[in-house]
A and B are shown apart, each in its own frame.
Chain A
Amino acid sequence: MIRYLIIDDEPLARDELKHLLEQESEFEFVGEAANAIAGLSLINKLKPDLIFLDIQMPKITGLELASMLDDNQLPRIVFVTAYDEYAIKAFEEKAFDYILKPIEVSRLQQTLTRLKQDHTPKPMLFDDKPNLTVLPCYYHHTIKLIQLSEVEYVMSDHSGIHIITAAGQSHTHLTLKTLEEKSALLRCHKQYLIAEQAIKEIQLHENASADIITPSGHKVPVSRRYLKAIKHHFGIQTG
C-alpha cells in the first residue's frame, strides 16, 4: 500500500484528486491539509509515502514546503498545479512528478504506474543550498511564521524543537537536521543550532568547550566537537 497525503488550499481540488484515487486499491488516503503548515505537521505525524502537493498556497508555497522536509525521509512528491510553468521547470528533476489541473485521468495513471514501481522514501536531490527563509512555528494555539533572520538559536529537547528569538520561544515541526542543512544556522552542540548574527560573544572554558552569549542574553552551550568548526567559520586560528 502507498499511503498518501493531499495538500491543496482548494477544497474541491482535494475532493477531485481523492475521488480519482479512490478506485486505486494500492493507494491509501491518510489525510489532507489546506495549507503547507498544517501539511508539514501531518507529514511529520503520518510519515506518508507520497504527497500530492499544490504549489500556490497561502504563506508557504508547496515548493517551500518541499524544501523544509528532511531529505533522508523524503516522501515522493507529486506537484499538482494549475499553472506555474517556471516553477515546474525549476523542479522538473527534483520532484517525482508533476500533474496539471484539471487532472487528466490518463496522465494521472502514468504517474501512479511509476509510483507503484518505485515508492520507497529515499533521499532526493533537492538543492543543497540553504533556502529556508521562513520557519513555520506553533506558539500556543497560533501558527507563526518566523523569519530566519530573527532567530537566535534552535534547541531540541524531549518535547521537540524550539526556536528562540528575542521575542520568545516557539515550537516547530522542522527537524534540527533539516534546519542545519537548509538554513544558515550553525551547529554548535548536539542539541543546538546558533544563528551567526546572534553570536555576541563566545566565552571559552578550560575544558575546551564554550558558551555563546546572544544579544538578548541567552547562554548557548558550544561542545568541544563543534567549537573548532565555529572558530574556523569565523577565521579564528585554533592553537
Chain B
Amino acid sequence: MALIISLIQQLSVFLVIAYLFSKTPIFKPLVSISVSLPHKVVIYLVFSSFCIMGTYFGLAVQDAIANTRAVGAVLGGLLGGPVVGFFVGLTGGLHRYSMGGFTDVACAISTTLEGLMGGLLHLYLVRKRNIEALFSPLIAFFITLAAEAVQMAVILIVAKPFAQAWQLVTLIAPPMLIANALGAALFMHMIRDQKAMFDKFSSAFSAKAMLIAERTVGIMAKGLTQQSAEQIANIILEETKVGAVAITDKKHILAFTGIGHQHHKPGRAISSPLTLGAIKDNKIVFADGVNLPYQCSVDKHCRLGSAIIIPLRIGDGEVVGTIKLYEPKHKLFLNINRTLGEGIAKLLSNQILFGQFLEQKRLLTESELKLIHAQVNPHFLFNALNTISAVTRTDPDKARELLLSMSHFFRKNLKRSCDITRLEEELKHVEAYLAIERARFGDRLDVKINISPDDYSLSLPCFTLQPIIENAIKHGTSHLLEGGCITIDLNEHPKQVCLCVQDNAGLYRSKTSDGLGLDIVDKRIKNAYGQDYGLSIECEPNVYTKVNIYLPKSLTNTSKEPRS
C-alpha cells in the first residue's frame, strides 16, 4: 500500500512536469496526427524523455525499480505509431538497461514491447478511421494496463532467478499497473484538453474572420470613401473588440472609431510617422507597445498604446491606404487580432480591387455607348434627309414636323451624359425616330406601341428601347419585300417588368455587328440593376425576332428631364 502511495506521488511530479510542458509550443504537434517526419521526431523525443524521466522518478525496490516509464512508451506509440512507439520503448528500455539490476534485460525488452503495443493500437485505430479514440483517456488507461501486465509477464519469464522475480512482481505489479494506467489516462486527458482548446481557438478565429468578411462584403465595391470606410471600421470594431479601428487612404484619415475618436477626426491628414512609414515602405508596422511604443501624434494624453498598421494594396502591390487596429495602453495587443487585422486588410484590398474592376467595366460600357451614338448611322441620316427633301415639295408642314422629329432624335443622341430615365422619355425618343422611318418606308412599316400611360413612370437606362427598335428595322423589317410589322408591349411578371419588341422578319443572327448594340443595352441594364435583368432574344427564322427587355419594377419620379 505504501508503495502505491509513493508511486502515485512520483506520478504527480511527473504529471506536473507534463502539464507545464503542455503549455509550451513544443507540445503543439502532439495534438494532431500527422505522417510527416519532423512531427514523428518531435513525438519520439518528447515521449522518450518522459520514458527516461519515469525511470528516474521510480523507487528502488528489491534491486529493481518501480516506475512510471510505461506512460511515455505507450503514449509515444499511441500518438506516433508503431515505429515511433518501438523506438521510444527501445530508448527507454536501453536507458533502463544501463542502470543494471536483475530485471534490466526484462525491463528493456518489456518497455520496447509496451511502445510497440501502443503503436499497434495507433495503427489499428487509424485504419478504422477512429482518430477520436486515439485521444481517449479510457483507451490510454486500458492499453497501459495491458502493457504493464505484459511487462510483469516478461519479468517473470526473463528475470532470473525466478523466485526473486516472482516476489518482485507480486510486490510491484498492483501499484505499477494502477499508477501507470492512471498516469497515461491523465496525461492523455491533458493532451486532449489542449487539442480541444486549439480547435476551439481556431474555429472561433475562423468564425470571426468569416463574420467580418460576410458583413463587409460589397461595401468597398464602391471604392475607398469616408462613408464605406466608416461602415467597415464600425464592423471591425464590433467584431474584434479592439480599442479602436482606423482606415486611411494615402493622405487622410477616412474613418476612426473607438477610443480616442474625439481627437482622431476623419478628414484629417495622416500625421502618425508610423502610418506614413507603412504607406511609404508598403509594409505592415506593428507597434506592440513594448518593443516599439505607439504614441498618438495628435494628443499626448491619448489612451491608445499599441497599434498594427497594415497597408491596403491593390493589383501589383500599389498602396491605396491603410487599416489600423489599436489597443489602449493597459491592454496587451492580442496575436489573434494581429493576424485577423492582416486578414481583414487582404479582404478589403480585394474588395477595393473588385470595385475598381466593376467601375472600369461600367465606364467602358458607357464609352462604348457614346461611341456608338457618336457614329450616327449615316444610312439613316442621309435617307432621312432625302425623304424630307422630297416631302418639302409636296407637304411643307409635314416636312417641318419631320425636321423637328429629327432634331429631337439627334439632340437626345448627342447628349453626352444620361443615366436612368422614364419610359415616357424613352418612348418620345422612339417616336421621334419612328416618325422618320415611317415617312421613309411608307406602308412597308407598321409599328404598334401597346404601352399604357400608366406605365410611363417606369425607370430604365436611357438608350434602351430605341436601339432595339432601330435594330428591328435596320436588320429586320427593312429586308422584307412585304410589309414589316413591329410591336412593342409591356408585360408584368411577378418580379420584373418585360418590355417586348417583336418584328415579323426573324432575321436575327447573333454574333453579327448588330449584336454589339444589343450587347451594350444588356450590359447597361445589368450594371444598373444586376444579373437578374437584361435582354433575352428569341428568334424563329423568317417568322419573328423577339427581344425581351427585363427590368425591375422600379419607378422614377422625375417627371421631366432637365433641359440641356
Contacts and interface: CB of A to CB of B under 8 A. Distances in A.
A56 B379 CA distance: 9
Contacts of B408: none
Interface of A is mostly: loop
A16 B382 CA distance: 14
B453 interface: no
Given A19-B393, A58-B480, A59-B479, A12 B385 contact: no
A9 interface: yes
A83 interface: yes
Interface in A60-117: 82-84, 100-103
B386, B391, B441 interface centre (most CB from chain A within 10 Å) = B386
Interface string A16-57: 100100000000000000110100000000000000000010
Given A58-B478, A59-B481, A12 B440 contact: yes
Contacts of A10: 383, 386-387, 440-442
B202 interface: no
B390 A13 contact: yes
A58 B483 CA distance: 11
A34 B445 CA distance: 13
B53 interface: no
Contacts of B385: 101-102
A13, A35, A84, A101 interface centre (most CB from chain B within 10 Å) = A101
A201 interface: no
Number of contact residues on B: which range applies? 20 to 34
Given A16-B389, A143-B481, A101 B382 contact: yes
Contacts of B394: 15
B222 interface: no
B478 to A, nearest CB: 6
A11 interface: yes
A13 B386 contact: yes
A59 B481 CA distance: 7
B379 A103 contact: no
B150 interface: no
A59 B440 CA distance: 18
Number of contact residues on A: which range applies? 20 to 34
A82 B382 contact: yes
Nearest to B384: A82
B379 A16 contact: no
A103 B386 contact: yes
A37 B481 contact: yes
A12 B442 contact: yes
A35 B481 contact: yes
Nearest to A37: B481
Contacts of A143: 481
A13 B481 contact: no
A100 B378 CA distance: 12
Interface string B310-340: 0000000000000000000000000000000
A56 B377 CA distance: 14
Contact of A83 (B379, B439, B440, B444): B379
A12 B390 contact: yes
B481 A12 contact: no
A100 B382 CA distance: 9
Contacts of B478: 9, 56, 58
Interface in A1-17: 9-13, 15-16
Contacts of B386: 10, 12-13, 16, 82, 101-103
A12 B479 contact: no
Given A58-B480, A84-B379, A102-B385, A12 B439 contact: yes
Nearest to A54: B383
Interface string B364-402: 000000000000001101110111111101100000000
A236 to B, nearest CB: 41
A83 B382 contact: yes
Nearest to A36: B481
Given A10-B440, A16-B389, A19-B393, A58 B479 contact: yes
Nearest to B387: A12
Contacts of B383: 10, 13, 82-83, 101
A58 B504 CA distance: 14
Interface string A195-225: 0000000000000000000000000000000
Contacts of A9: 441, 444, 478
B441 A102 contact: no
Nearest to A100: B382
Interface string B414-445: 00000000000000000000000001111010
B128 to A, nearest CB: 71
5 contacts: A10-B383, A12-B439, A13-B383, A13-B387, A82-B382
The 3 A-B pairs with the shortest beta carbon distances in the complex, nearest first, are A16-B390, A82-B382, A101-B386
Given A12-B391, A35-B481, 14 more contacts: A10-B387, A12-B387, A12-B440, A13-B383, A13-B390, A16-B393, A19-B393, A58-B478, A82-B386, A83-B383, A101-B385, A102-B382, A102-B389, A143-B481
